[in-house]
Amino acid sequence: MSMMKLSVVIPAYNEAESIRHGSLQKVWDYMKKQTYSWEVLIVDDGSTDKTVELAKRNIKDKKGFRVLEEPHRGKGGTVIAGSMAAKGEIVLFSDMDQSTPITHIADFLPEFDSGADVVIGKRTGRKGAPLVRKLMALGFAMIRTVVLRLPFADTQCGFKAFRRGAARKVFGKMRVFLERTNVKGASVQAGFDIELLYIARKIGYKIVDVPVSWDYGERRQVSAVKDSLDALKDILRIRVNALSGKYK
């Protein structure tokens, strides 16, 4: 039996409003037109609103969609859970609010045919984002480059894809996420993205970044100052782990 081509993993924490505004319908409208085999996993991160109820109601007539209910561990834990449950040869992670449209899948898949192991979105323009967030993102990128030597313009875009085997190998070597046990409320966990890319590059996987559109939107579950400080702490933890040989 041939392996399924693509698994789309959508982490969700208190995303009832996004679902009400048609986010899953957008995914369905695109995926149902594809000729390759696929599945969509909505992975709930212990939401306290009606995310699970609305998601299940929304996907009743959508073949290939399913909902996984996970305890609250933050986005990183949700992504890992979805990846481990995925059946596809390629596993793609996409934000529920579709700030990066699902249609960019068409730009990602050819890169895997050309030999990529990991494909990540590189946001262009950052439509709607306040100036302060753009400046903070620029400063964060500079620190990330200096400390970890990651040669990517954008490590934080919530639109990434891996060969399934590569994703599982990378997740098995992660340390910063595993060390974080106290997660409360919405948690972006910027360090998760940085650590997984750092490990993937250290292993020697071919990583390709692809330009994608991105819309800040009206409602974002982030705290600019808190998330930036947490990310800086994670960068230092990753550097210490690397110097200690924990990623070998």
Give residue-wise pLDDT tens across range 27-70: 999 999 999 999 999 999 999 999 999 999 999 999 999 999 99
Is the whole model's pTM more than 0.95, yes or no?
no
CA pair distance 70, 117, nearest whole angstrom: 27
Helix (H, G, I), strand (E, B) or coil at 208: strand
Q: For residue 233, what pLDDT band results from cuts at 50, 70 and 90? A: confident
| CB of 155 closer than 8 Å to CB of 123 | no
pLDDT tens readout for residues 106-149? 999 999 999 999 999 998 765 555 555 665 566 666 777 667 78
First to last CA, the chain: 35
CATH number at residue 208: 3.90.550.10
Is residue 248 one of the residues assigned to a domain? no
Q: What token pair was written down for 186?
A: 């919405």
Kindly state the percentage of the chain with pLDDT values over 70: 81
pLDDT at 131: 58
Q: Any idea which of 62-76, 77-91, 107-121, 144-158 has the lowest mean pLDDT?
A: 144-158
Q: For residue 151, what pLDDT band results from cuts at 50, 70 and 90? A: confident
Q: For residue 8, what pLDDT band results from cuts at 50, 70 and 90? A: very high
Kindly state the percentage of the chain with pLDDT values over 90: 62
Is residue 153 one of the residues assigned to a domain? yes
Residues 6+ apart with CB under 8 A from 95: 10, 11, 158, 159
What is the tally of structural domains in the chain?
1
What number is the average pLDDT over the span 213-223? 64
Q: State the residue range of the domain holding 87.
A: 4-243
CA pair distance 129, 121, nearest whole angstrom: 17
CA pair distance 247, 238, nearest whole angstrom: 9
What does the buried/exposed string (b/e) look like for 26-44 if buried means 16 or more CB atoms within 10 Å of the residue's CB?
ebbebbeeeeeebbbbbbb
| pLDDT of 181 above 90 | no
| pLDDT of 219 above 50 | no
Q: For residue 103, what pLDDT band results from cuts at 50, 70 and 90? A: very high
Greater confidence (28 vs 176) lies with: 28
Q: What token pair was written down for 166?
A: 């590569």
Is residue 103 one of the residues assigned to a domain? yes
